[in-house]
Structures are given as structure tokens and as C-alpha cells.
Amino acid sequence: MTPKVDVRAACFRDGKILLVRERSDGRWCLPGGWADVGDVPSEAAAREVHEEAGFVCQALKLLGVFDANRAGQPLSAYHAYKLVFRCEITGGDAQANHETQGVVRAALRSAWAFSILMRPPVRAMQKMPSPVKG
């Protein structure tokens, strides 16, 4: 089975990170989704931020690659790798869509109810040094 690629955007500003609330489970996660065949992963992450949160952003750096099937609860129907990109918001306004029911900028070290698939990347980001403001 060929694994799927899930792209996520970690958009920091003023010590806070952009989160969206998934309609599917009501929990918070980084904006993102499945990359399509032929997508440049960093561009797919930026597209997902715009679609799910209303912001325009630019991916600056790949922060990490996580094996979703080996981090917590394995996915039953497929195997997936999660690519998390450090992104900079360059425009737009907070706006939820048909996949999300909320958009917020939250302190990274806050206690949030994260979607199960986002827990390993979020735990890793909580151990990282604080991002540069901006």
C-alpha cells in the first residue's frame, strides 16, 4: 500500500500558533490536509491554510515528518506521513470553511484538546524553543 501524505502548517505570530477546529471531531489542529498527486508539499500546506483558515501564507521550512501510524492510535484504512511546515502569514483574515468550525491563534504551550492525529507533532513542537516573533 502506498502511504498518503498529510501536510500541516505551523503559522506562528507573537508567540501564538494558528489552529483550526475540525468539524469532523470538534478538536483543534494545525491547518492542513491530504496532498494531491503532483502537489509540491509546501504549496499544498499554504493552500490548506487559505482554504481552512482564510489566511494567505508562505511555507518557510519543513519542521518535521511524522509517521501517523506509529504515533498513538494507528490509522486502520491506510498509512500516512504527516509533514509539518513552518509558515508565515502574509495576508487574509480568519475565516472557517466547510471543514472547519473555528479559527484561533493560541499560545503553543496552552492545554488544548487536539485532534488525535495532531498530538505527536504538537508534542514535538511544544519541546522546541519558542519561535522568533513575526
Residues in the chain: 134
Q: What is the mean pLDDT of each run of 10 residues along the chain (134 residues)?
A: 90 86 86 94 97 95 85 69 93 90 78 50 50 40
Strand partners, 43: none
d(CA 126, CA 120): 10
Sign of the Cα torsion 97, 99, 101, 102 reads negative
pTM of structure: 0.78
What are the residue ranges of helices labelled H in 40-108? Answer: 41-53
pLDDT digits (tens, 9 = 90+) for 109-127: 654 545 544 555 555 554 4
Domains of the chain with bracketed CATH = 4-126 (3.90.79.10)
Cell numbers 484561533 label which residue?
Answer: 104
